[in-house]
Structure 1
């Protein structure tokens, strides 16, 4: 992660999942409210998507671990350098550990939705642990750095620990649309903020570097963080509105068909009475 690409990779990971969740959870909520719209095929499709989601999460985590370990200046799976008598690339190892727990979460998702071996809530518990581990590692990741570097990472921790708490609450309140949308907005915030960290600390294309000790930069970056969250809320609101609108359109198409079936049944009953 000690470069722009290293922050863009996890940023893309969270943005993709956040955008997907902003579509999936409103659709599942609409299905629960309007069972006539969602057929058994839709439920099977959602079940498959849960499995694909877990596999994608595990694949992203594996890519992240490989990238952290086998970049040219990476540790290459060597934890201790016996020649120099010191730990080898601990920053890379920390990032690999973060990806490891997200990979475990993905594997648990697959097991949860393909078998009945484990309780369903285990997938949320493991995701909560993975998000907490991310925040726990980042908290001890920036000690001794420049003021702006520390501040921009601490802002990230707000979204991380809030997300961990939100997912943990879902263990006991599964299917709560408020918690699901809140977690989705925090995931999008994490993704966009990883990109922002990359632009601030490692400007691409040889752009001007930020003054790490300027207090005005800290004020601006804090305000920028709020804009990022407004952007995340906007995405969630737009997708929620679009999905709700599409479901209502489908409901209007389904209702005339059902009314026609009811009328045909009433006519059959009337003809039977006449006989």
Structure 2
């Protein structure tokens, strides 16, 4: 990941998944509200926009599976080192520590995708295990990037600390999704929000450190490090504001679709195909049918 493409790949995955979660969460919220049904949570969402046949498949899990496998292959290939001692003829083969960190991050999200697929095909796993696995994956990401900036330039440490903050916020939202007794939309929306935020911040880190438009950060001397340390929080706040605007704007097409497809989307399919266990539907039926969302 020590390159611009190495930051753009995970950043793109997080942005795409986060935007999809935003749209799907808003759509589920509006559909549940119109049908006077309680909101419910899942890690993944059915892809109704591509037709009923595609909606019956765990497309989101397949996308994450493909993206993580691609990231693993890139990291293992880029981190492969083969040193030859021409005096003794000894060959040393090892992976770079930086690449191994990124490999382990992709591995955790790959496991989340596998769990979602198992839940989809009715493997008898506990309810909300996909949410728990997602929290573990994001927690592992936060741990990795917390130590990723160790013994580096203070500015590099600072930009990675902000990334860790966004990741930790995603974990907190996931915990709230599970812990809340009466499921509400806020934690799921915020989970999507912070996922987009960390994805966009990956882009910022990549262009800050490895931009093709200026010299490599490590090869250039910062004439005013204090100014840089002041500007980085400013950029992060701009990301926070811009992501909030995106969250609100995405609600518009979701609302329009919910109105147009109010009769078209079958509610049972909408709930069950999105990897909700059958017993959750039974629990929802016990709740007040007119519970406010």
Which band: TM-score by shorter chain?
0.7 to 0.9
- Of 201, 214, 230, the match for 1:219: 230
Answer whether contact 1:51 1:113 (CA < 8 A) is retained: yes
Inter-CA distance 42–195: structure 2 relative to 1 (3 Å threshold): closer
Q: Displacement of 1:164 after TM fit?
A: 1.1
Instruction: Return the match for 1:63 from 51, 66, 70.
Output: 70
Indicate how the Cα distance of structure 1 residues 147 and 46 shifts in structure 2: closer, same or farther if over 3 A, else same. farther
Range with bigger deviation, 244-253 or 87-96: 244-253
Deviation at 1:59? 1.2
- More helix per residue: 1 or 2? 1
Q: 1:20 — aligned with what?
A: 20
Does 2:104 align with 1:74?
A: no
- Give the TM-score normalised by structure 1: 0.79
The structure with higher relative contact order (CA 8 Å, sep 6+) is 2
Inter-CA distance 191–42: structure 2 relative to 1 (3 Å threshold):
closer
Specify which of 181, 184, 209 is matched with residue 176 of structure 1.
184
Asked whether the 8 Å contact 2:15–2:200 carries over to 1, the reply is yes
State the shift of 1:246 in Å: 4.0
> Does residue 201 of structure 2 align to residue 193 of structure 1?
yes
Q: Unpaired runs of 5+ in structure 1?
A: 77-82, 254-275
- Alignment equivalent of 1:98, drawn from 101, 105, 124: 105
**CA pair 181-149 structure 1, distance change in 2 beyond 3 A:** same
Instruction: State which drifts further: 115-124 or 8-17.
Output: 115-124
Q: Is the 8 A contact 1:185 1:232 kept in 2?
A: yes
Q: CA separation in 2, counterparts of 1:55 and 1:130?
A: 17
CA separation in 1, counterparts of 2:30 and 2:245? 19
State the structure with more CA Rg. Answer: 1
Quick check: 1:243 aligned with 2:250? no
Consecutive unaligned residues in structure 2, runs of 5 or more: 37-46, 83-89, 265-293
1:89-147 CA-to-partner distances (Å, cap 9, x unmatched) read 11101100000000000111111122141123001000000000000111111110001
Matched, 1:8 2:19: no
| C-alpha contact 1:51 1:114 (8 A) present in aligned 2 | no
C-alpha separation in 2, matches of 1:232 and 1:194: 14
User: Is it true that 1:131 corresponds to 2:138 in the alignment?
Assistant: yes
Provide the C-alpha distance between the structure 2 equivalents of 1:243 and 1:154, rounded to a whole number of angstroms.
33
CA contact (8 A) 1:22 1:235 kept: no
Structure 1 residues 228 and 175 mapped into 2: Cα distance closer, same or farther (>3 Å)?
same
Deviating more after overlay: 232-241 vs 150-159:
232-241
The two structures have a TM-score, normalised by structure 2, of: 0.74
Superposition deviation, residue 175 in structure 1: 4.9
